[in-house]
Structure 1
Amino acid sequence: MTAAGPEERERDLEPYAGPPPTRAPSAELRAPAATPEGDAGPEAPEPAGPTPFLLAMRGASWAWWRPLAGVAVIAFLLGIALVLTRITHVLTGTGADLDPVPLSWRGLLVTDLFLAVALPAVLLAWPIAHGVGPGRGLSVAGRLRVPLLRRLLLVALATAGANVALGVAGAVLLADREVPGHVAELPWVLLVGLLTVPLRAAAEEVLFRGYLAQAVAAWIGRPRAGAVVAAVVTSLLWAAAYGTDDLTGFLGRVALGLAASAAVALTGGVEAAIALHVVVAVVVLLLGAVLGEDAVPGLGSDGPGQAFALVGVVGLAAFVALAARRGART
């Protein structure tokens, strides 16, 4: 083994100076600099919340004319249905009539099927006029929330439906309103009514509290103002479609429309409006068919106890409050 020279012994006695210098790490590998406490820097923007149901038309494809195009599609399909009902009237003597008196199974069948065309018409208007699926016209979830609809049907029966029955009972027992007895062909009236009235009620709500309300709110563009204006406009239009001769009946329909509109805005879909309308329409049908049309205030002609029709307003308010709680859980 060769002995180390003087230079090598001197180098061995020097202290260790560490490795030779290397390149600095890349920016991706550097640890973020510590931020002094209290100086957190600019906050990251919070993600935007979900689009309200009534502003569903204000998407990327929004244009002011699209709701008008959708209304034109709906009107065209309803016009075809109206022509078919006219042909039916010529052949059978029974046509569509929004006046529920006199109550007959043939009149119910033709009228309800005619109005039920509004449902497929709205579902077609969305892809044709807006280029998207029809789910936006049903709820914020993009579909009909069937479990919520089932729960709200029970809520509507315990609130609005019960109050309608109490109003009729008050008019008959406390105001001596006339009870003419059940209508002719009662079994057929009940069978046809129970099958078609819910379908008609659902179609009307999808049209008025769904598409038309969304169109009005979209033109306004502000959530709260749009919801209020849409509620007033659609409630008046729907009530006027059934006639304005009977003031009590007209006001009752306006109240029902406003309650349905409030429930739609609070739950984010048409399920609440469908449940409310279906229950009220079926209860009125059953009472009118069994007791006679004149026994139901707001359904038949003016008479004693007409003011009892407004008792149902209490049930409408209770339904809206309970529907909002159940809709928030979905």
Structure 2
Amino acid sequence: MITSRIARLAVAALVSVSVIAPTLTAASAETELEPLGVTDPAVTSGMAWHLDAIGARIAWRSSLGAAVRVAVVDSGVDSTHPDLLGQVEDSVTCIGAAGSADECTPGGTDTDGHGTHVAGIIAARADDGIGVAGVAPRAKVLSVKALESRCDDASCTADGDAADLAAGVRWAIGEHVDIVNLSITAPYRLAPDLLDAIGEAWEAGAVVVLSAGSRVDQPTFFDVSSALLVTATDRSGGLASYAPRLPDDSIGVAAPGGLTTDTEYTCHHDGQPVGVVSSVPVDTGDGSGYECRGGTSMAAAQVSGGLALLMSMGFSRDEAVDRLL
């Protein structure tokens, strides 16, 4: 069980300051340690503002997330995406698995784009001259499809059954992953079977990173003691308008989620990039293979990436979570 604390994600302070230069304050480290230069256009242009907001490029001087495995339990991941080539270690689908990891089967196409977007935020390849860079670009992703779109156009988003999500978490446990990313929302509280699976992940040595949803009028998930909750900030660093304010007794982190969850203008607003840019399947959206989205889902992915940076340096699960909080 995680001790109740709430913090804002700042991986530069967690990694660079605490490990490379423990005598430096977070403020002085920002001036003495320069961000690592990369060739990814979204980074060099400033579009990937979230990376600098959390200090990821400074943290990269200490860690890139190598040897850490992150399960993305979502709508699937497009492993053929140019920015995810070689990043996806395995893919399964747990649609209809009814809570049992044994019922998950190989494969799983991402027809929605949400899972591919989340995976890119976590572990898209860096310094390859294209697209974006993930928070932990040397980490590996295991794609677990437990959500799917119910229509053929952008008018609906991926959803699914809690039992399938639970099966996906249990499959990830069986694969001995380090981190399970659950960028999901729910109308009320999580189903008991999913809560059980999250607890099983913690007991198995993994940590579940759980988005807090995007409804300020109906906070959810706040009774989950075995997961790290994530709410979202906007570009100014304040709580995003759609993001739940976590109670004081929550175990949580705030990370950039963008100005709005409205996909029509989350890339730019008044000339400023405000959405979180990442990969999507090339056959979705405008065909570019990249899209800006907003929400606690995007924030949770950054927290998973931050944990991967720490674990790659040799910190245990508990030590990494403690540093984040």
For the criterion TM > 0.5, the same-fold answer is no
TM-score w.r.t. the length of structure 1 is 0.24
More strand by share: 2
Mark the structure with the bigger radius of gyration. Answer: 1
